[in-house]
């Protein structure tokens, strides 16, 4: 049925069904491989998956991967990473010599890959999971330390790892965490405000439990993390971006603000006072399926949102833009629809570009002249999953586009790490 003919009641019913199906899918993945759970079509010609690259994007292809304006520097397979499935990805640049590292989560731990020479990356070492394997791992960096959480992993807590240990020059090392913060067990996600030195744990067994509120940790002394408070009002928080606010709303200048993706809405929360956070505004949007993740533009005027389940009834891959000029009254602006049908998973904004990890359609790069109106245009892509562009939950999980060199790294659930170079 065309999206334009869906009534509000039908959308609500479909959203409930979608939420149930999404939960069933994730539980399925805990019991089996991502390949078994992914669904979707598997036609098309498979591409090499072990160590291909470098390869320029020529006439729409780089080493067998569909592409546009993005070349392949190197692919590192899951086997080389030492895992059997991939998940989150982040990055670190050593301030001593600007060496760049990709930090990729796999089912059994976290892997550190030196990528300063993108065509010849080196696996420096691995930090094993604190407890058991997990299909969900999330990583952020503060003050040369990596902070790592895992979901459905028992009493995993938050691993703290000193990234300067990667300077030793060895490869294929096995590391141990420097510190493990244990005031929660599993957690789905972690956000860090690097300006304030606070970490925000999402979906732990504390602060409402399950996919609950924010568990706040003071990490200003990186090796001495301390519990600082909870935000429990909105509940069901799935992901968050937390910043020291420098945006256009004068009422909240200098405050610490979290933009929470809550599954059924986006909530804007003032967390300046850790013992008593305040929800400022809540916003929804048309054809809401599952509000998965969001990121501010550089001006902190607009929030770009990905919905992990709206493709089930909107059909095309959708990117939602919210005006957050007034933090107390955020407003939905518009939804950009790409020509693909894949599910969007994680996105980040840098400059006038949006970098998206869209599962089966891989990395997608959108460019805009102004987010005030729908000027989004796709200017590049690299498809890590050439077999299809269906709405299956397989392919590109995460993307990190913040290296000064311009190198982009993408994690793939089934194929590991891609080191990419946009034209």
Does the residue 398 lie in any domain?
yes
Q: What residue numbers bound the domain in which 388 lies?
A: 51-76+340-423
pLDDT of residue 209: 57
Edge-to-edge strand ranges of the sheet holding 189-193: 189-193, 198-202, 214-218, 226-231
| Domains: count for the chain | 1
Does residue 10 lie within any of the structural domains?
Answer: no
pLDDT category at 390 given cuts 50, 70, 90 is confident
Q: Does residue 187 form part of some domain?
A: no
In this predicted structure, the answer to whether residue 320 has a pLDDT above a threshold of 60 is yes
User: What distance in Å separates the CA atoms of residue 255 and residue 268, rounded to the nearest whole number?
Assistant: 12
DSSP character at residue 205:
S
Res. 45: pLDDT tops 80: no
Report the pLDDT averaged over residues 297-320. 93
Pairing status of strand 137-142 against strand 266-270: unpaired
Structural domain includes residue 384? yes
Is residue 310 within 8 Å of residue 22, measured between CB atoms? no
**Residue 223 burial (CB < 10 Å; 0-12/13-18/19+)?**
exposed
How many residues belong to the chain? 423
Two tokens, residue 189: 């996600």
Is residue 417 in a domain?
yes
Q: Structure tokens of 413?
A: 């659930």
Residue range 94-147, pLDDT digits in tens? 999 999 999 999 999 999 999 999 999 999 999 999 999 999 999 999 999 999
pLDDT of amino acid 277: 94
For residue 317, give the nearest of 325, 326, 309 by alpha carbon: 309
Q: What is the pLDDT of residues 200-233, one digit of tens each?
A: 999 998 997 555 689 999 999 999 999 999 998 7
**pLDDT tens, position by position, 225-275:** 999 999 987 658 999 999 999 999 999 999 999 999 999 999 999 999 999
Report the b/e string of 54-69 with b at 16+ CB within 10 A: bbebeeebbbebbbbe
In a domain, 350, yes or no: yes
Mean pLDDT of the chain: 89
Q: Which residues contact 236 (CB under 8 A, 6 or more apart)?
A: 208, 210, 211, 212, 262, 263, 264
**Report field, pTM of the whole predicted structure over 0.75:** yes
Per-residue pLDDT at 4: 31
CA 397 to each of CA 3, 49, 220: distance values in angstroms, whole numbers, following the listed order? 26, 17, 29
Taking only the tens place, the pLDDT of each residue in 327-345 is 999 999 999 999 999 999 9
User: Would strands 173-174 and 122-128 be described as parallel, antiparallel, or unpaired?
Assistant: parallel
pLDDT confidence of residue 208: 79
Residue 180 resides in a domain: no
CB-based contact 100:91 (threshold 8 Å): yes
- Do 198 and 218 meet the contact criterion of CB atoms below 8 Å apart? yes
- Rounded distance, CA 59 to CA 66, Å? 9
| Prior bond of 54 cis (ω within 30°) | yes
């Amino acid at each position: 049925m065309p999206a334009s003919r869906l009534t509000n009641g039908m959308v609500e019913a479909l959203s409930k069904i979608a939420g149930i199906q999404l939960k069933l899918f994730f539980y399925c993945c805990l019991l089996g491989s991502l390949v078994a759970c992914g669904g979707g079509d598997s036609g098309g010609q498979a591409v090499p998956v072990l160590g291909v690259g470098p390869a320029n994007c020529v006439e729409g292809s780089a080493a067998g991967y569909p592409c546009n304006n993005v070349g392949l520097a190197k692919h590192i397979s899951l086997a080389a990473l030492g895992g059997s499935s991939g998940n989150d990805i982040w990055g670190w640049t050593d301030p001593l010599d600007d060496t760049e590292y990709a930090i990729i989560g796999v089912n059994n731990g976290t892997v550190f890959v030196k990528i300063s020479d993108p065509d010849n990356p080196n696996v420096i070492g691995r930090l094993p999971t604190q407890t058991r394997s997990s299909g969900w791992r999330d990583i952020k960096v503060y003050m040369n330390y990596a902070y790592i959480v895992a979901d459905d992993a028992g009493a995993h807590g938050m691993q703290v790892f000193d990234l300067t240990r990667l300077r030793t020059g060895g490869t294929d090392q096995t590391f141990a965490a420097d510190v493990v913060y244990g005031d929660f067990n599993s957690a789905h996600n972690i956000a860090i405000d690097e300006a304030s030195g606070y970490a925000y744990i999402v979906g732990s067994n504390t602060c409402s439990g399950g996919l609950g509120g924010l568990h706040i940790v003071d990490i200003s002394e990186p090796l001495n993390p301390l519990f600082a408070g909870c935000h429990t009002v909105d509940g069901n928080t799935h992901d968050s971006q937390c910043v020291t606010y420098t945006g256009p709303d004068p009422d909240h200048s200098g405050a610490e603000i979290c933009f929470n993706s809550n599954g059924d809405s986006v909530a804007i929360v003032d967390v300046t006072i850790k013992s008593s956070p305040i929800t400022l505004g809540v916003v929804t949007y048309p054809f809401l399926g599952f509000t998965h993740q969001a990121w501010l533009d550089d001006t902190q005027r607009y929030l770009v949102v990905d919905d992990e389940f709206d493709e089930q009834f909107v059909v095309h891959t959708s990117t939602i833009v919210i005006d957050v000029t007034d933090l107390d009254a955020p407003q939905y602006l518009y939804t950009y629809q790409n020509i693909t049908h894949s599910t969007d998973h994680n996105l980040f904004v840098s400059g006038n570009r949006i970098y998206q990890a869209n599962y089966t359609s891989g990395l997608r790069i959108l460019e805009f002249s102004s987010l005030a109106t729908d000027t989004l245009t796709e200017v590049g892509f690299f498809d890590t999953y050439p077999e299809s562009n269906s709405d299956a939950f397989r392919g590109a999980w995460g993307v990190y586009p913040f290296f000064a060199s311009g190198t982009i790294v993408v994690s793939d659930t089934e194929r590991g790490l891609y080191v990419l170079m946009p034209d």
